[in-house]
Amino acid sequence: MTLYKQATIIGFGLIGSSVARALRENGVCEIIVACDADPDCLAKVQELKLADRCSGDAAEAVRGSDLVVLATPVGTYGDIGKAIAPSLDFGTTVTDVGSVKGCVLKALQPVLPEHVHLIPGHPVAGTEQSGPEAGFASLFAGRWAILTPPEDTDPDALKKLTRMWEAFGSKVEVMTPEHHDLVLAITSHIPHLIAYNIVGTAHDLEGVTDSEVIKFSAGGFRDFTRIAASDPTMWRDVFLNNKEAVLEMLGRFSEDLTALQRAIRWGDGETLFNLFSHTRDVRKQIIEAGQDEEAPDFGRPHDTATRK
């Protein structure tokens, strides 16, 4: 079902290239235009035949498109908005896939023309890898896509964008940018921050060598390094642009950690056991909600043939 005539995707990394694949796979638009500042990336896009047209110039790339998707780090939105504003057609929908939403309206509303539909979005899906090769069409299937439309958003434009995500297999939820940034601070931003942090801590120890950390990482550490392998620029911009919510959640996390620290110091096994038991229920709910697999191997390939 064709929803858009021509879609321009600016930023062809993991998410941008996955959107392109999903658009084509589900016949959501007729023409796909790829835009990326990195010539090597565009060469890869051409090699993989992910787009009908490629351009390094955003203003040129959006010409004639009725859908524009920003898939670059959120810190770049302001400049991109200024660059594309003059060449945006009347009634074009401009959306994005950034992990922070409050800053998107602040950056784009002042620079985009009145005659486009600005509807920020965020597909809560991804992997720890980056680049156009890393994307795949089914990345959004079964995941949630959050849209944060301004109050005066055109209902038809919103309906159309909703149907695009549904065509990708996503479930769509509409909320305010402020609430999005609070929810994602705890479900995504803080998990990434503490994963990045412990990898740093492990590196700086004098009593334990780096090679020991690597060798014995299967005890849990390696799973944090997977989360902490995500794109550095993207994550820097997330934390710089969701400061308040992240600091608020970080404060609560640290409070709770201090309480656990106290329980360990005083040998309060009951407090530890109660928390450790509760977390199993949360895990069960996530699996029941289809947001994770039950497979019991911390993410190693499920080679049941090797199981005896």
Instruction: State yes or no: residue 28 binds its own copies (CB under 8 A).
Output: no
Provide the minimum distance between the beta carbon of 173 and its own copies in the complex, in angstroms, as a whole number. Answer: 7
* Residue 283 DSSP one-character state: H
Out of 10, 143, 147, 161, name the contact with its own copies by CB under 8 A: 143
Out of 31, 60, 136, 167, name the contact with its own copies by CB under 8 A: 136
Instruction: State yes or no: residue 86 binds its own copies (CB under 8 A).
Output: no
Instruction: State yes or no: residue 27 binds its own copies (CB under 8 A).
Output: no
Q: Kindly tell me the burial class for residue 219, based on how many C-beta atoms sit within 10 Å of its own C-beta (0-12, 13-18, 19 or more).
A: exposed
Q: Which residue in 34, 38, 18 sits closest to 26, CA to CA?
A: 18
Answer yes or no: are the C-beta atoms of 98 and 122 closer than 8 Å: yes
Region class of 115: left (phi > 0), else alpha (psi between -120 and 50), else beta: alpha
Which is nearer to its own copies, 4 or 196 (by Cβ)? 196
The whole-angstrom separation of Cα 92 and Cα 89 is 6
Strands, E, within 167-277: which ranges?
A: 171-174
User: Binding segment for its own copies among 38-46, 52-60, 64-72, 281-289 (CB under 8 A)?
Assistant: 281-289
Instruction: State yes or no: residue 198 binds its own copies (CB under 8 A).
Output: yes
User: Binding segment for its own copies among 38-46, 58-66, 158-166, 202-210 (CB under 8 A)?
Assistant: 202-210
What is the maximum span of the chain, computed from C-alpha positions, in angstroms? 67
With CB under 8 A as the rule, give the number of residues binding its own copies. Answer: 115
Out of 84, 104, 146, 147, name the contact with its own copies by CB under 8 A: 146
Question: Tokens for 131?
Answer: 């680049």
Which is nearer to its own copies, 109 or 129 (by Cβ)? 129
Instruction: State yes or no: residue 296 binds its own copies (CB under 8 A).
Output: yes
x/- binding map, residues 100-129, to its own copies, per CB under 8 A?
Answer: ------------------------xxxxxx
- The footprint of its own copies on residues 57-76 (CB under 8 A) is none
User: Binding segment for its own copies among 32-40, 64-72, 108-116, 262-270 (CB under 8 A)?
Assistant: 262-270
The whole-angstrom separation of Cα 50 and Cα 48 is 5
Q: Which residue in 246, 133, 112 sits closest to 188, CA to CA?
A: 246
The whole-angstrom separation of Cα 85 and Cα 172 is 27
Which is nearer to its own copies, 30 or 256 (by Cβ)? 256
Answer yes or no: are the C-beta atoms of 263 and 272 closer than 8 Å: yes
Provide the minimum distance between the beta carbon of 51 and its own copies in the complex, in angstroms, as a whole number. Answer: 14
